[in-house]
Structure 1
Amino acid sequence: MRLKCGALLLGLMLAGMAVTTNSRVSADAADGEVLVDPGTTFANVYRLHDLPAWSKDGTFRPDLIMQTVQDQVLPKHWEARGGNATMAPYPQEGALVIRASEKMHQEIKAFLDKQRPGR
């Protein structure tokens, strides 16, 4: 039941983001992959299972990672700084849902990959 609720919540978040950006998001996309019209903003899910996003008691705490991404990846493009990219935690999956342009998603993926252990 918990997994179904989490999947429903993610679906609603992605649908809301798609509506606000006039992009088309594919429900058939694999983890980390979203199919959209080129040149638009779209939502993507970034799992943080191997990054330091949990407290000692196992609580999902992505605050530091979220702030670091906003500071390091095209800072002026984030909504909090006048841009249109947004980010929200998705605790049920230990992930972030980020709505941004294709270029930003490429930069975000590269940045997160560099933070992963063994890279």
Structure 2
Amino acid sequence: MSPEDQRLWATLDHIGGIFFGWLSTLIVYLVLKDRGGFIQAHAKTALNFHLTMLIAIVVGYITTFLLIGFLILAAAYIVIIVFAIMAAIKANSGEMYSYPLTIKFIK
């Protein structure tokens, strides 16, 4: 895959995570991980981030009866949007991006 295509797919992977969560990043990782180092690194970091955010969202839903869950959910969704946009901008310019506070499920 050409470097331009890798940048495009990495950008779409990060943006797709905003709308479809961990599922879109998992699909991109499984389908494109062998197409180049750049797309593999971005797909891996996006998948790790969205799996970490999935945990935060589940905790938020579980704790909604304590009312703190609503704050956790709001914070998680804001973090997803902001960090995914930052990652997409970096990917589009050909740079690596590392999401902060991410558990590395896929190494």
User: What's the TM-score once normalised by structure 1's chain length?
Assistant: 0.27
Q: Considering fraction of residues, name the structure with more strand.
A: 1
Structure with the higher fraction of residues in helix conformation: 2
TM-score w.r.t. the length of structure 2 is 0.29
Does 1 or 2 have the higher relative contact order (CA < 8 Å, sep 6+)? Answer: 2
